[in-house]
Amino acid sequence: MRIDIITVLPQLLESPFSHSILKRAIDKGLVEVNLINLRDYSTHKQKSVDDYPFGGGAGMVMSIEPISNCILSLKKEREYDEVIYTSPDGEVLNQRISNKLSSLNNLIILCGHYKGIDQRVRDHLITKEISIGDYVLSGGELAAAVICDSIIRIIPGAISDETSALTDSFQDGLLAPPVYTRPAEYNGWKVPEVLLSGHFAKIEDWRHEQSILNTKARRPDLLK
């Protein structure tokens, strides 16, 4: 898989891909992540990528020209399955979306900034808009990092124990059950006896029951 991230702040995205699972996936050659500086595609002397909005109003708008130049330049090199824009009014990211994206080959993620991007980019160059929640960030870089993390970690081979990713919350539409580790008793607080029984069928039944109860208590909307 190849992910090209278009941003005005590439340095902000260096750290997430330099550690842990994402770094290991990159080192294994499972994914290639490229941070592309949008300013490199600006024709302005000052390399500006924004301008005042037509009709007036507060804030600045990301200009169409450098974005178009960048995306079209990338498309000359390869075909892309999706051109994603990180937007607060996009489709809210969930596990189903991440699973689908993880099976694709080439992605572009455009990080929004300021008051947003020229609408013509959204109308003609973007194929998918994704939000990571009902709130506003200073820029789309952190959202892009979240999207990439959710995608890359479920690529086969990214996690040494692949069954771990398959039992995460939301993979089966439910929240994960409680988990425990040693010691079996601490400060009078005990681990449920069933987890110590060695009876794997009973343990799986208990975990499934706890997932349902956990989801009902915390996220009843998922049960619908």
Residues 81 and 52 in one domain: yes
Q: Which is it for strands 128-131 and 185-186: parallel, antiparallel or unpaired?
A: unpaired
pLDDT tops 80 at residue 163:
no
Burial class (CB in 10 A: 0-12, 13-18, 19+), 197: exposed
Check pLDDT > 90 for residue 80. Answer: yes
pLDDT of residue 160: 74
Residue 157 maps to a domain: no
**Segments forming the whole domain that contains residue 122:** 2-152
If asked whether residues 23 and 95 sit together in one domain, one would say yes
pLDDT at 169 exceeding the cut of 80? no
- Buried/exposed code over 36-67 (b: 16+ C-beta within 10 A; e: otherwise): bbbbebbeeeeeebbeeeeeeeeeebbbbebb
The CATH number for 97's domain is 3.40.1280.10
Q: Are residues 179 and 137 part of one domain? A: no
Last residue of a domain, one of 126, 152, 178: 152
Could you tell me the CATH number of the domain that includes residue 215? 1.10.1270.20
Do 91 and 191 belong to one domain? Answer: no
Local structure of 42: helix, strand or coil: coil
Co-location of 110 and 20 in the same domain: yes
Phi-psi category of residue 198: left, alpha or beta, with phi > 0 → left and psi -120 to 50 → alpha: left
Q: Could you tell me if residue 157 is left (phi over 0), alpha (psi between -120 and 50 degrees) or otherwise beta?
A: left
The number of residues making up the chain comes to: 224
Asked if residue 110 belongs to a domain, the reply is yes
Same-domain pairing of 89 and 126: yes
The reply to whether 182 and 97 lie within a common domain is no
Tokens coding 195: 């987890």
Last residue of a domain, one of 152, 187, 210: 152
Query: Is residue 159 assigned to a domain?
Result: no
Please report whether residue 162 resides in a domain. no
Last residue of a domain, which of 152, 177, 210? 152
Residue 162 has pLDDT above 70, yes or no: no
Is the pLDDT confidence value at 167 over 80? no
Handedness of CA 15, 17, 22, 23 (dihedral sign): negative
User: Looking at the domain assignment, is residue 90 inside a domain?
Assistant: yes
DSSP letter (8 states) at residue 130: E
Residue 16 has pLDDT above 70, yes or no: yes
| Residue 164 within a domain | no
Q: Is residue 218 part of a domain?
A: yes
Whether the Cβ atoms of residue 20 and residue 149 lie closer than 8 Å to each other: no
Total domain count, the chain = 2
Does residue 172 have a pLDDT over 80? no
Indicate if 128 and 25 belong to the same structural domain.
yes
Q: Mind listing the pLDDT tens digit for each residue in 89-128?
A: 999 999 999 999 999 999 999 999 989 999 999 999 999 9
Q: Which residues share a beta bridge with 6?
A: 36, 110
Residue 163 belongs to a domain: no
